Amino acid sequence: MIYFVYPRLNKLSGAERLILRLASYTTQLGAPVTLLTHYFDASCAPALGPRVQLIQTGARLQIFKNHYLNAPFEYLAAAQLLKYIPKDADAITFFGPPSLPALAWSSFRKKWRAPKLYFCYEPPRFIYDDADAVTTRMGFSGTLARPLFGLYKHLDRWMARRADALLANSHFGATRLRVAYGRDATVITHGADFAIPSLAQIERVRTQYALQDKFILLTVNFLHPRKRIDLFLRAFAELNMPNAIALVVGAGPEKDALQALVRELGLAERVHFTGFIPDEELPALYGASDVYVHTCKNESFGLSVLEASAAGLPVVAVNEGGPREIIADGETGLLVDATPDALANALRALANDPALRERMGEAGRQRAAANYSWERGAREFLNVVDAFGAPVSNVISRAAPPLDAPGDS
């Protein structure tokens, strides 16, 4: 049995989708997976395959409304999940910084001989890339916090280095892990397995948001400052195309500020904030749109970029981070500087050339199909398990026959 450890799955975003899909497809290949967590939100259920065993403790970790205030409780509670892992586990995979205390504690216990893998999307930004910006924004309290941030940085490095192997979601992400932790990481391929929406489903979306005969720009993101949705909105204002509509899909702490910016820019009638949209409804949104826009700051991968390409949308993205691996510039989308002017110019070029949009969208679909799949990622993951622990054949031989992956029937 392979164990996945993640303290809290409180929404179905990119990180949670990775965990659930990787667990599901690993099980589909015949290697059983148990997911250990304290909290599992109902929105995550559709992404979890039928053969994955879920153990949810129900421990209360959301004490405050602020995510950052709750983070210490998640970290401290992570180690409690170890008691559900038997000594004959084949491998234990810890996901993201909240699981690191459990990884560190497990490295001291003699109970498990199984390899301990750390799947890290990116080192904590606020103590690495964004440390100066965060402490400056905090003012005087930031000055006091600097030594604590430095201490946490050393602790994070020490805990991450306790892993037998590091896993990353892109070559860009692997480079960041090498800089932070001084170790190489194995890149695990992601996938996009959305169902193809029907024409009726697409038409319902167009009717719901009054999109008929409009040029539709879509972004799907957690509304957080690092996602730079404000950059998208300013580019949309500069585009100055009355027939265009911007769809902002997702929830998050920046929603009020972004809505205020929309009013300030005079875009209230042409920007729709949809809130959180379940996985099963996203394909119709992609299908109803003309261009996908990605503005996140140095995103380690960009799962929504891959999903958009797989859905046949051309992508306009800032020339940063993991999306540069997904997008073939000039072929499946356009990579531009992170400025409103550059984004607006790229969007204008696509708006004025439907044939170019069609060619890029189809090229993106083919590129995604050829290079990305969750099954491929699951096989790569099992290769790491095989290299550091029990042979995969032994893991699979103890498993029941596999069922279909989530969403199959």
pLDDT digits (tens, 9 = 90+) for 281-297: 899 999 999 999 999 99
**More confident call, 362 vs 390:** 362
CATH topology of domain 2-191+374-386: Rossmann fold (3.40.50)
Q: Is the pLDDT of residue 130 over 70?
A: no
Question: Is 122 within 8 Å of 322 (Cβ atoms)?
Answer: no
End-to-end CA distance of the chain: 25
Q: Which three-class secondary structure state does DSSP give residue 272?
A: strand
**Residue 144: pLDDT above 80?**
no
pLDDT band of residue 404 (cuts 50, 70, 90) is: very low
User: How large a percentage of the chain has pLDDT more than 90?
Assistant: 68
Q: What is the pLDDT of residue 221?
A: 93
pLDDT band with cut points at 50, 70 and 90 for residue 77: confident
pLDDT at 67: 61
Identify residue 372 by its one-letter amino acid code.
Answer: Y
Question: What's the confidence (pLDDT) of residue 364?
Answer: 97
The type of residue at 279 is: D
Residue 58 — pLDDT band, cuts 50, 70, 90? confident
Kindly state the average pLDDT of the residues 264-269.
Answer: 96
Which pLDDT score, from 0 to 100, does residue 400 have? 43
What are the tens digits of pLDDT across the range 318-328? 999 999 999 99
Checking if the pLDDT of 407 tops 60, the result is no
Task: Compare 151 and 174 and report the one with higher pLDDT.
Answer: 174
Tell me what pLDDT residue 195 has: 82
- 15-40 tens-digit pLDDT: 899 999 999 999 999 999 999 999 99
Q: Look up residue 67 and give its two tokens.
A: 């995510």
Residue 396 has pLDDT above 90, yes or no: no
Higher confidence at residue 364 or residue 11?
A: 364
Q: Are the beta carbons of 360 and 333 closer than 8 angstroms?
A: yes
Q: Which residues in 300-339 are b (16+ Cβ under 10 Å) and which e?
A: bbbbbbbbbbbbbbbbbbbebbbbbbbbeeeebbbbbebe
**According to the model, what pLDDT value does residue 388 have?**
84
pLDDT, tens digit, 9 for 90 and up, residues 200-216: 999 999 999 989 899 99
Q: Write out the E strands in 299-344.
A: 315-318, 333-336
Predicted local distance difference test score (pLDDT) of residue 56: 94
Domain boundaries, the chain: 2-191+374-386, 199-371
> Greater confidence, 135 or 305?
305
> What class is the 199-371 domain?
alpha beta
Measured CA to CA in angstroms, residue 44 lies from 181, 189, 326 at distances of 31, 21, 25
What's the mean per-residue pLDDT of the chain? Answer: 89
